[in-house]
């Protein structure tokens, strides 16, 4: 039978534990009065990372109540912001009407229906001095050679393959274009943006105007993008302005055998009973830019899209927005490549900033350790006394 010592009916090991606890508390009080320990503890507390949510949880109920009132105000701000964007859409519609005569003239120059005057075609480039010097050197060439060269120089109508060249220049679009799409896109004469009428749900339409061709009978192909400019009831704080929520294409009236969005494949089929084999042909979807006019529909009635479909739809929205905001308003600069260089420079700057921020975050992660502030007191005490950190630190009181 084990031998246990008792003092006044209390086991001796319990008495010893109580003495140790009392001694630790006294030692804690003494050490916490040391300015060096207090300074070290404060420094350690200041270095502890605090997440906003953990801080909010520590606040009194009265303060949390006021925070909820601020959130209500924020929701009202979001609704005012939505009205602001509706008025911006009205302004876009107004100024689109002012731009249109210039875009109509642009189309006439591109198609060759109108030849620009000397005044309209005059342009002073940044490299004007170099071009002038090159012109002076050309003037030194023998007149007969100059006349011969001029006679041989072609003079096509308008600006051939203007929009097709833009498709080739812009990566986002060239990725969609297949080799068999190219001869069709060479017939593209204009792209227009039409905004929804006043009082109608916010939307815009992309119009692709084609000259008569051997592929389809449509003169215009359309893509309508539907937008929403109001805070989501379930998540009002996510509102950042109008967003595309759905889109509709159009039916392309393909001429016989010219539909590039499908391909015909041959498949062998075996009869189960007789064992005979026959060859059948069937049409299956084919990759093509013209699938752009037969888009996926955004999920509705509580149904959700799979990850691939969501990515496809998001890419479609991005392309539609890019046509509206960049391609159509600045078409000549995407034709010459100047706008593409500007976009590349902007993206490089953003990537550099992101890399720098990522590096800073990694450094912070290494420096910051998740330490319970309640354990700091004993941690500092044991460090100060040169003792090993206890495996189960206890709280201590501060004076």
344 φ/ψ sector (left φ>0, alpha ψ -120 to 50, else beta): alpha
The per-residue pLDDT for range 188-211, each reduced to its tens digit, is 999 999 999 988 889 999 999 999
The per-residue pLDDT for range 352-389, each reduced to its tens digit, is 555 555 555 555 454 444 444 445 555 554 544 444 44
Strand, helix or coil for residue 31: helix
Q: Give CA–CA dist 237/134, Å, rounded.
A: 59
Is the CB of residue 399 less than 8 Å from the CB of residue 33?
A: yes
CATH 3.30.1120.90 fits 83-115+158-298+307-340, yes or no: yes
pLDDT for residue 391: 45
Q: How do the domains of the chain map onto residue ranges?
A: 22-58, 83-115+158-298+307-340
pTM more than 0.75: no
- Asked if residue 128 has pLDDT above 70, the reply is no
Query: What residues pair up with 224 in beta bridges, in sequence order?
Result: 205, 248
* Nearest Cα to Cα of residue 200 among 295, 86, 366, 57: 86
The per-residue pLDDT for range 288-335, each reduced to its tens digit, is 999 999 998 876 655 677 788 888 889 999 999 999 999 999 999 999
């Amino acid at each position: 039978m084990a031998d246990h010592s008792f003092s006044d009916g209390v086991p001796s090991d319990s008495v010893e534990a109580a003495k140790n606890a009392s001694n630790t508390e006294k030692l804690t009080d003494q050490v916490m009065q040391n300015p060096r320990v207090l300074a070290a503890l404060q420094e350690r507390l200041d270095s502890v990372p605090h997440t906003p949510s953990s801080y909010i949880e520590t606040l009194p109920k009265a303060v949390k109540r006021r925070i909820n009132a601020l959130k209500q105000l924020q929701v009202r701000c979001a609704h005012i912001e939505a009205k602001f964007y509706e008025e911006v859409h009205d302004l876009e519609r107004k100024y689109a009407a002012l731009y249109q005569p210039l875009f109509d003239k642009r189309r006439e120059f591109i198609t060759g229906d109108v030849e620009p005057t000397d005044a309209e075609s005059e342009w002073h480039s940044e490299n004007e001095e170099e071009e002038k010097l090159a012109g002076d050197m050309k003037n030194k060439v023998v007149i007969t050679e100059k006349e011969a060269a001029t006679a041989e120089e072609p003079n096509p109508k308008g600006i051939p393959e203007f929009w097709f060249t833009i498709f080739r220049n812009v990566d986002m679009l060239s990725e969609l274009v297949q080799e068999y799409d190219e001869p069709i896109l060479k017939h593209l004469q204009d792209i227009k943006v039409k905004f929804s009428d006043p009082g109608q749900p916010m939307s815009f339409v992309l119009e692709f105007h084609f000259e008569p061709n051997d592929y389809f009978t449509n003169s215009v192909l359309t893509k309508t993008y539907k937008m929403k400019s109001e805070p989501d009831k379930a998540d009002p704080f996510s509102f950042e302005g109008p967003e595309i929520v759905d889109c509709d294409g159009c039916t392309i009236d393909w001429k016989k055998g010219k539909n590039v969005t499908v391909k015909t494949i041959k498949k062998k089929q075996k009869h189960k009973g007789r064992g005979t084999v026959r060859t059948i042909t069937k049409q299956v979807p084919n990759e093509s830019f013209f699938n752009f006019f037969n888009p996926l529909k955004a999920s509705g009635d509580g149904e959700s899209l799979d990850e691939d479909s969501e990515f496809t739809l998001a890419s479609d929205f991005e392309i539609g927005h890019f046509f509206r905001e960049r391609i159509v308003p600045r078409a000549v600069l995407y034709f010459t490549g100047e706008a593409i260089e500007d976009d590349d420079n902007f993206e490089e700057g953003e990537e550099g900033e992101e890399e720098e921020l990522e590096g800073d975050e990694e450094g912070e992660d290494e420096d910051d350790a998740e330490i319970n502030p309640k354990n700091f007191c004993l941690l500092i005490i044991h460090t100060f006394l040169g003792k090993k950190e206890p495996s189960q630190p206890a709280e201590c009181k501060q004076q």
